[in-house]
Structure formats: structure tokens, C-alpha cells
Amino acid sequence: MKYKSQKVAYWFFALAMLLLALQLVYGFIMGFAHMGYDGLHQFIPFNTARAVHTNLLVVWILTGFMGAAYYIIPEEAECELVSTKLAYIQLITLALVGVAAVIGYHFNYWEGRKFLEIPRPLDWLVVINVLTFLGIILATLFKGKKRTTTSLVLTMGLVFAALLYLPGMIWFDNQTMDSFFRWWVVHLWVEGVWELIMGGILAFLLIKITGVDREVIEKWLYIIVGLTFLSGILGTGHHYYYIGTGKMWLIIGGIFSALEPLAFLGMALFALAMYRKGEKRHPNKIALSWTLGTAIVSFVGAGLLGLAHTLPQVNMYTHGTLVTAMHGHMAFWGAYGMIVLAIIAFSMPNLTGRKRYTNNTNVFAFWMSNIGMLGMTVAFGVAGVAQVYLERKVGMDFGDVQQEIQVHFFILILCAVLFTSGIAAYIYEFVKYGKPTDEAIEN
């Protein structure tokens, strides 16, 4: 690392690791419940487990993004963060709000709006927290010597993500309106502005790891995020097919969302091309694996598996089934889970000064988590397709279908064990690195 204040990033990454571990615990609770073992029902009913699982997911990823920004922005802007004290306060309050929300979910204190379960009063604390974060980042950029495209795209993604949170906070009496604006958060995040954040982090990593000229990388960054918005904004329509918002979206959503995979394809081809082109061979090979991995797995999980159910003719049958859960897992993992693990893998040796780079545990973590996730995706997929067929084609009752597909949740749990062993190895490595130190500063 080059600047002392970059050390803040470590603590954000540490919080992200902790939340990730907890997320998986609640995943297992749901997996077992689907299999018929719901012994915890009285204390942690399915809806509690689900709200915790998905909210921890979103929060660990956002925490990872914040850490990434605190690491990347000083290096790109060539100056220290304006205030590390404020950054630490921001971290602690973020953790507190998160803990409060998760505890609330165990006591029926929430808003049942998928992914936006945080109650409105806590939403306001989130807003203040994120404003503090953005304030620090923007002030640092403003003060800094340079404003690179990479840092601007990253910052733009973060600012838009914050703005898009607001429509999700409006109260509507009409369920359809509620859902309409819920997608402004959920869809425009993952298929819009988060891709800017991902693109920014990816560009930073590729510049550092491959040594390819910044001008070339950043040109491609613009093209990729251009494709993202060009397809993704109107692509929101793929959530407006069957919720009472009219026929027009069948066409608009169908066409534009079918173009969305192009941005992910672009990301994959770009990362591979830069890797081939690069002269430099950075010793941090495991960071390279995660970087190329995120570009490829996001294309499969978001691009291909998204495309698989995005046309209205298909979505009519798959809408709101386990097919969606299949896609949701691999897309979130490939695009946002892996990019966060990539920036952590890259920055840890620089923050702590310990050049552990590639070792057996690292490599195990990478492959086990990916193989496990692939297996989980297949298990959800098989269960989902069977569900669609039996329920929506043959007309069997929901409950009877669930009994037919229980066995796939056994496979899901087996694969989840592989996945979890990979994550455990990753976290073990993280802990092994130890704390960041000023001695790691290089000039």
C-alpha cells in the first residue's frame, strides 16, 4: 500500500468476512427446512432465516465495496483519505445498524418487502451512514491530485447506488406500485449501478495485476458500463411482465434484458484479453484467479442463467420459482461475491506486508467455493425445473411438488458443505495474514 489511511479497508473487509460466515449459517437453516427438517421453526422460522440470509449477503457485499473504495480511492487520487476517524465511526455504526436489523428480524420487526426488509426508521440510519461514507470518498477525490476514470466510475456507482435506495423507502398503498419501485432498488442495483462498482474494481485490479496501459483498460471500462446501462435500465422491464404494469413491458423488457448479458460477456472477454496482453507477471497469482474468475462466473451466473429465464414466454412459467433462486445464487456469487474476494485477495499482502500470495489453502478456497457453488446452482436448477413442470404445466398442488423435489435439497446441502469449506479456508487465510501495519507502506 502507498497511503497510511488505506488501512481502514482492512477493518471493512474483516466485517465482511464475519457477515459472510453468518450468512451461510442461515442458508443451511433454510436448506434443511426445505428438506423437511425445520426443528428451529419456533425460534427461527423460514422468513426470519431468509431475511437474515439475504440481508447479510447485501450488507457484506456493500461493506466489501466500501472497503474496496477506501483502499482504491487514495491510491488512484494519490492522497490520504480526508479522515480515517470518521471512516472508523462509519464502520462501527454500520455494524450496529446491521446487528439491530438482524436482531429485529428474530422478533417480527421488519417490513416484508423482499431484500428491503430493514424497517423505515433504521433505513434513515443507513442513509446517514452512507452519506458519511460518500462524503469521505468525494472529499478525498476532490482533494486528490488525480481523478482517474477508474476512480470516477467506482464513485459514480457508489453515489447512484445510494440514490437508488431512496425510491425503496416510499410507502405505497398499492402492492403493484410498491413492487414497481422495489425493482428500482433491486434490479437497478444488481443489473445497473453495482456493475459500475464491479467494473471500477475490476479495472483497478487489471491495471495493477496485468500491467496493461491504463488508457486501454479504461477505454474498455467505458464501453462495458455503457453496455450495462444501455441494456440494464430498460431491462428493468423483465420484472414488470406479470405484476399488473401493462403489456408494453413484455416487449421492452424482453428485448433490452436479453441484451444485458452483453455487458457481462464484455467483462469476461476484456479481463481475459488484458490478462493475455499483459507483460507484467504479478506474483499475487491467487488475486489474478479471483479477478478472472469473477469476470467469467458472473457471465455464466448473471449473463447466461439470467438469459435463460428473461424472455416473457419463459418467465411466465419460471417467475417466482426455485429457478429464480438458482440464478440468484450464481449471479450474486460470481459478480459481487467474487469481486469482493478478489480485491481482498489482492490487497491483503499490501496491507499487512506479508507476501503470502499463493499457497495450498488459498487455492483450495478458490476451487472449493466455486465448485460448491456450481453444484448448488445445479441442485436449485434441477429442483426449479421440476417444480415449474409439475406445478405450472401439470398442475400439481404446491405442497405435493415440494415433497417430490425434497431430495434435491439434500444435494444442495452437500454442495453447500463444499462451498462452505472453501469459504472457511478463505477466512482462515484472512485471519492468518494478521493486522495491517504502517511498515507495509511502499514508496
Site for Fe ion in 186-245 (CB under 5 A): 187, 191
Residues numbered 164-193 forming contacts with other proteins, rule: CB under 8 A: 173-180, 182
Closest to ligand HEM by CB, 191 vs 429, is: 191
User: Quick check: 319 binds Fe ion (CB under 5 A)?
Assistant: no
Q: Determine the residue type at 406.
A: Q
Check residue 5 and report its DSSP letter: G
CA 385 – CA 389 distance, rounded (Å):
6
Contact with ligand HEM (CB under 6 A) among 327, 346, 366, 440: 327
Comparing every residue's Cβ against ligand HEM, the nearest one is 306
Closest contact distance (angstroms) between CB of 439 and other proteins is 38
Stretch 32-61: interaction string toward ligand HEM, x if CB under 6 A: --x---------------x--xx--x----
Span interacting with ligand HEM, options 93-101, 213-221, 265-273, 321-329, rule CB under 6 A = 321-329
**Distance (Å, whole) CA 145 – CA 168:** 36
User: Is the separation of the CB atoms in 263 and 229 below 8 Å?
Assistant: no
Residue 329 Cβ vs ligand HEM, minimum distance, rounded to whole Å? 5
- Rounded-to-integer distance, Cα 306 and Cα 257, Å: 9
Site for other proteins in 254-313 (CB under 8 A): none
328 binds ligand HEM (CB under 6 A): yes
Cell reading at 129: 451512514
- For residue 93, what is its C-alpha cell? 455504526
Closer to other proteins at the Cβ: 248 or 272?
248
Annotate 67-96 with DSSP letters as a single string: HHHHHHHHHHHTS--S-HHHHHHHHHHHHH
Site for ligand HEM in 5-24 (CB under 6 A): 24
Is the CB of residue 375 less than 8 Å from the CB of residue 343?
Answer: no
Which residue carries 426508521 as its cell?
A: 121
Candidates 83, 106, 113, 115: give the one binding ligand HEM (CB under 6 A).
115
Q: Which stretch binds Fe ion (CB under 5 A): 123-131, 185-193, 245-253, 314-322?
A: 185-193
Number of other residues whose CB lies within 10 A of the CB of residue 104: 17
Does 75 help bind other proteins (rule: CB under 8 A)? no
335 near ligand HEM, judged by CB under 6 A = yes
| Binding residues for ligand HEM, total number by CB under 6 A | 42
Say if CB 196 and CB 156 are below 8 A apart. Answer: yes
Q: Does 161 participate in binding ligand HEM (rule CB under 6 A)?
A: no
The DSSP call for residue 437 is -
C-alpha cell at 5: 489511511
Three-state SS string over 206-241 comes to HHHHHCCCHHHHHHHHHHHHHHHHHHHHHHHHHHCC
Distance between CA atoms of residues 440 and 245, nearest Å? 55
Burial class (CB in 10 A: 0-12, 13-18, 19+), 304: middle
* Choices 87-95, 217-225, 275-283, 294-302 (CB under 8 A): range interacting with other proteins: 217-225
Dist CA 70 CA 54 (whole Å): 24
- Using the minimum distance from each CB to Fe ion, give the nearer residue, 8 or 188: 188
Min. distance of Cβ 220 from other proteins in angstroms?
Answer: 8
Say how far apart CA 70 and CA 260 lie, in whole Å. 29
Q: Which of 240, 336, 409, 430 binds other proteins (CB under 8 A)?
A: 240
Backbone dihedral angles phi then psi of residue 251, each to the nearest 5 degrees: -80, -55
User: If binding is defined by CB under 6 A, does position 303 make contact with ligand HEM?
Assistant: yes
In angstroms, what is the minimal distance from the CB of 327 to other proteins? 12
Please tell me the distance from the alpha carbon of residue 300 to that of residue 4, in angstroms, as a whole number: 38
| Least Å from the CB of residue 402 to other proteins | 7
Span 391-430, contacts to ligand HEM by CB under 6 A: 416, 419-420
Residues contributing to the site for Fe ion (CB under 5 A): 187, 191
Name the residues that contact ligand HEM, by CB under 6 A. 24, 27-28, 30-31, 34, 50, 53-54, 57, 114-115, 186, 190-191, 238, 257, 260-261, 298, 302-303, 306-307, 309-310, 315, 319-320, 324-325, 327-329, 331-333, 335, 337, 416, 419-420
